[in-house]
Amino acid sequence: MKIARPLLAALLLSACAAPNGKQDVSASEAAQSAADAAASQTSEAAPEAVDATAWTKGAMVAAANPEAVEAGLEMLRKGGTAVDAAIAVHAALGLVEPESSGIGGGGFMVYYDHASDEITVFDGRERAPAAATPEYFMKDGEVMDYISSWQSGRSVGVPGAVALYKSAHDAAGKLDWDELFQPAIKLAEDGFVVERKLAATLASDRLQQYVRLDDLPESSAYFYPDGVPLAEGAIKTNPAYAETLKRVATEGPAAFYSGEIAESIAYAVSHDPSLPGAMTVEDLANYEVAVRPALCGVEPDGYKVCSAPPPSSGGVTQNMILGLYDRLKPTSEEDATEEGFLKAFVDAQRLTYADRDHYVADADFVPVPAAELIDPTYLDVRATEVFAPDEHATPGDPGIALGRGPMRQMWGEDPTDHRPGTTHFSIIDPYGNAVSMTMTVESAFGNSVMVHGFVLNNQLTDFSREPTKGGKPVANAVAGNKRPRSSMSPTLVFDPDGDLFMVTGSPGGNSIVAYVAKTLVGVLEWGKSAQESIDLPNIIARGDVVGVEVDREGGPEAAEALREMGYNVEERQGENSGLHVIIVREDGLEGGADPRRDGVARALE
C-alpha cells in the first residue's frame, strides 16, 4: 500500500506529501514564466530547420549567478541548444564566480538529446601529469598534509574544461563556436558586479589563513586591489580573461592546450615556489575528454535516474541512496513515523558513502563494480546491513558487491575529502534537450595561482594522498594520466514513460552526494517542488557522524530527532550547497535555485 512520505513536519515545511512527486504544487514564478514562455515560443527561438513542436514545455537555465544565466538564455534566444548555453554559462561563471570554477579546472556534463532519446556523459575531469606516481603526495616517507598539498603546484591537474566545451559542441552544438564566448568576453571587458558570495569568500579570515591568494602577485593584484578584498557591488573587469577567451573563440582549444597559455600553465605548476608539480606542455597537449555512457538505475516506482559513471560518484551514489531508502523506509501506516523516514534517509547515505569510499575511482585504471553496486539484488542485501547508531566502528565498512567479493579485500579504505570549490547548473532548451553540468577548481580559488586571467585547480588532492591503507593499495591512489575520484553528481531523471522529468546537481565537495540525494528524495518521495527540495536543511551522513544544517528551518528539529535516535550529530552552519533544479511539470518547467549562493532559475521568454 502506498503511504505518504513526510520527514519531520518542521523539516518539510508542510503536511504529508503524496508519493512520487505527483502531489499538486503551486508553480513558482520561474515555473509560471516557463509555462508562459512555452505558450509563446517563436521561430526566433527555434529555427525552422529544427522541429521544436514535439517539445512544448519551454526552456530554462538555472545557475549560480544571474549574469551567467543571462549568457545561457542569450544562446537559447539565438536558437542554440542546451550545450551551446552550457558553454556560455560556464565561460561566464569562470569570470563572476572564480572561487568555484573556471577554465583552469574541469568537470562533467550529462547531456540528454530529446530527438534521439540518448544520454551522453562528457568527462572533462582533470588528469594527473604523466609523470605522477602513487607517492606524488609523499615527502621524506611521510604523507603530506592537506594544506601543503593544496597550496602547491603538486595539486594541479591538467584542466579539462575547454576540451569538454569542444567535445560537447561538436556533438550537440548549433551556434558557431566563437558566438558562445561573446557574453563572457563582454562582461570581462565592460565589468561585472561582484556578488555577495565572491566578496564574502575573499573577506573570510579563514580563507586568508590557508591560501596564498593575497600573496601571489597576479591573484593579489586582481582579488585584493590596494590590499583590500573586492567588495560586494564593485564593478570588476578582467582584460586578461577576455583575451584568453578571444583566443579560444578564434583558435579553438589549441589556443589553450598549446602555445603561450599552455606554456604559462606548465611553467606555473613546475616552478611553484611552495612545491613544484610534474605537469608539462606535453601533458596539456595530450589531454583528451572521455565520452562515456551514463550510469542509470530504475527505481521501484519506475523513475530512471542517470548520472556520470566513475570517476564520478554520481551514478553509483544517487542510485544507491534512492534504492536503499526505498528498502529502509517504513512500509505500513502504523510504522510510518516522521523519524522513520528521516532514519531511512540517513542510513541509506551511510551505507552508500561506505561503498563509494571503498570502490569508486577511475575505472580506466582500476576495476570499479559500478553496475553491481546499484543492482537490486545487491541493494536487497546491503539494506540488511544497517549500522546501529551506537556502533561507531562500523559505518565505514563496505558491502561485498555481487560477484566481486575479493574486491573488498583488494582495496584499502579512502576517506579523502573533496573540497567545495565547485559550481552546478541545469539547462533545458526549446527542443527538449537537457544539460546537467557540474564544474570545479576543487577548493576555493583552486591552488591560488592565476594565469591569463583564470585560476588553476587543485584537483589532484581529490586523489588519496596516502597510496596504501592497512597494507592494501587504495583504488583512488595517484597514477600518471589518471583522473581523481569525484563527488560531482550531475543528474537527470526520467519518468516511468521515459520522458525527461528532472535536472539536478550541486557543488559542495564530498557533501555533493548528500545534497543531490536530498533533492531526489524530496521530489520523488516526499512530493516537494524544486525550490522546496532545495530549501530543506542539508543532512550529510558519511561515517559515524551525521552533519545537520541547523541554520535552516527544520534543521534543529532534525538534529534533535537524530540525536534522540542515538546518532552522533554534528550541528553545522553555512553549508555550501549550490543546488540548481529544473522539473518538467504538466504545465511547463518549474525551477529552483539555492539561496545559499547567488543563483537564479529563469525561463526563456
What does the DSSP assignment read for 164-200? HHHHHHHHH--S-GGGGGHHHHHHHHH-EEPPHHHHH
The terminus-to-terminus CA distance of the chain in angstroms comes to 43
CB of 537 closer than 8 Å to CB of 553: yes
Closest CA to 504 of 355, 322, 311: 322
Smallest CA-to-CA distance from 531 within 588, 487, 596, 576 is with 596
- C-alpha grid cell for residue 479? 597514477
Rounded distance between C-alpha atoms, residue 164 and residue 91, angstroms: 12
- What's 388's DSSP letter? P
Tell me the CB-side half-sphere exposure of residue 164, using CA atoms within 13 A. 33
Q: Which position among 422, 440, 461, 491 bears the catalytic label? A: 422
Q: Nearest to residue 510, comparing CAs of 329, 354, 285?
A: 354
Q: Radius of gyration (Cα) for the chain, nearest Å?
A: 23
Active site residue 422: yes
| Residues in CB range of 209: below 8 A, 6 or more apart | none
CA angle 140, 146, 151 (to 5 degrees): 95
CA atoms in the 13 A half-sphere facing the CB of 207: 23
The whole-angstrom separation of Cα 284 and Cα 364 is 19
Dist. CA 526–CA 14, nearest whole Å: 10
Q: What are phi and psi of 166, to 5 degrees?
A: -70, -40
Q: Any residues with CB less than 8 A from the CB of 334 and at least 6 apart, and which?
A: none
Q: Is the CB of residue 601 less than 8 Å from the CB of residue 564?
A: no
| CA angle in degrees (0–180, nearest 5) for 578-82-106 | 55
Q: Label each residue of 519-586 as H, E or C.
A: HHHHHHHCCCCHHHHHHCCCEEEECCEEEEECCCCCHHHHHHHHHHCCCEEEEECCCCCCCEEEEEEC
- CA 287 from chain center: how many Å? 21
Q: Quick one: which of 153, 108, 133, 434 has its CA closest to 290?
A: 108
Q: Which helix (H) or strand (E) holds 454?
A: strand 454-455
How far apart are alpha carbons 94 and 82 in whole angstroms? 18
Catalytic residues: 422
